[in-house]
Structure 1
Amino acid sequence: MGSTFLTQFGVENYDGLEKYTVSSTSQSTVLLQKKKRMQEVQQELDRKKQEYKVRMHKCNEKERELAEKQARIRESVVRFERFVKENDAKRTRALKKERDESTSRMQKEQEIVALKQEHLQYTKTKEKYLRLLDKLSVFGSYIDSVLEPSDEFHEIDDVLRRHSTLTHTNKDLRQVVEQGNHEIEEMRALLTQFSKDKEDEILIATSDIAGQQKRSDFMKNENTKVEQELQYRDNAYNDRKRRLGEAKMAITNIYQRCKKGNVPHEDLNNFDRLLEYIQNRMLDLGAIARMQKECNEYKLDPRGWIHSRAQGNR
């Protein structure tokens, strides 16, 4: 049984094992010591397996988190592109509205200029009729002067003829004066109403212009805010794009360093496959490092240790 144990342990395959002497101890004591040693090795191996499982679990978690992060980044990029398109549409509508309001304001200003010119024309007409009234008032003064006593008329017929003539003339002049006064009153009423209407229109137009100016200033401020927001979004998008590019370059560089000479090349745009290859390569290198450490610790030949582990697994 002792010789069988020594054969399974691979004495002939380990050049670096420490040789135990049994000159002063019994065969059973040596066997117990070797069993204890094997138990310690097995415990260490189980611990390494557990560490390997934990690390594999962490790697899987990291891979899943990276995939979720990439999905979130892609989703953010899509949302941002949609946001940029919507902001461009809003900006176009705002600029169109600003142009329309500016055109409307210019039309209102032109209407105000036209109304002022029309008001000036009516003022000139009013002054014209006032001058005509002053001119016609001379006839009233003349009639009053004729009624005064005079030595000009010596015959009764002359006086009667003069009276008749003056009566008809007075009648005609009174009709002219009354007609002129009536026309003047009508023109004065029309001018007063027109002036009032035009003043109201000017006030309304001025109020509209002030409102249009306020809306124009508000739209300019909103347009400035939108442009600033777009600039901020563009900077954030470029930063995300740069970080994503750096991550892809880092993955590609690590893959190039981990790649073996005869291993077929992976598609450099398939980052999931590249990460999987890097993970497997890191696990292989970790296993090799742990194996080398254990061999150095127990002073074993790595090739014999691998052969012994293969027989133990069978």
Structure 2
Amino acid sequence: MKGIHSNLKQLKMDTVSPATRLLDKRRLMYQVQEAFERQKEEEARRLEMFNNKEEELRARDLAVQEKFVEFSKVINENEAKMQRANNRIAEEKKAIEAKEKRKKELEEKVSELKSKATALEKSVTAMKAYEEFLENVRAKNPEEFTEINDILLLEGKLRLANDQLRFQQKQLEEENQKIRSIKDQLEKRKKDEILQLNIEIAQKSKQCEEIEGKRLDLNKLAEQISAKTVYKQVEIGHIFMAIDNLYMRCGDGPKINHNSDLKYQMDPGDEDVGKKFEEVMDKLRIIKAYLNDYKTIVQKSSSSLLQKCKNTKELSKILPRELNIN
């Protein structure tokens, strides 16, 4: 329907003149302007109503806030009063507790004083009996005690002497304890020393056994060495005898004689090994000289002459010394 209405309106506008259309547009503009003014007035009226409402609400809010502040003040005052009342109650309770404690202490003190009074009464009763006893003692010994104070003075002296004796006894017991402690320490030290000495004795015994074993081993070794030495001495004796035999056999020849070259000649009873060794070496040197001579003789002699000689002795007798033997 709107499309048809707009089409009809468009046909009408197409058929009217431009002036009419201008007037129509002005009319429409005035209508729009009037509608805008009416709407503007309506908005202004609404804004005024809103502002009035806002002012009213603000005034009501301020009133409520003032009432709330007043109510808060009242509440704070009530709380302060309640706090003061509670503090006062607590203080009163503390005061009551302190009074009760003080009362209890006083009651205990009264009870203690009553107990002391009872004890003093008993002591006075006992002292009366003691006083009667002292009076009887004074009456029986009027020459020694004229008053009860004399007996008390004597008792004080005896107590003082007793205290001194007890003190001396305590000192003697302490000294005795110290002496016992020193004795125990000495006994312990002696036991430790004896134990240490026993340990050392055991160690020394073990060392002695080891040394004895070594000594036996050394004795065995010495016996072995002695046996070897005897064997070597026998061998050396045989060698010396062989050398002496060779020396004597070499000296039997009349033509060749090196015995005059012997430098060392020992006495039969002399047993000096060094001298014997020098003599033997000298004899070996002479034997070597004889052997060199015999070697030279053999080399320079004819084979027929050597066949006639059965030994070196015969050879030395046949050949003269003038063969330039060196």
TM-score grouping bracket, smaller chain normalisation? 0.3 to 0.5
Q: TM-score, normalised by structure 1?
A: 0.36
Larger C-alpha radius of gyration, 1 or 2?
2
Larger RCO: 1 or 2 (CA < 8 Å, sep 6+): 1
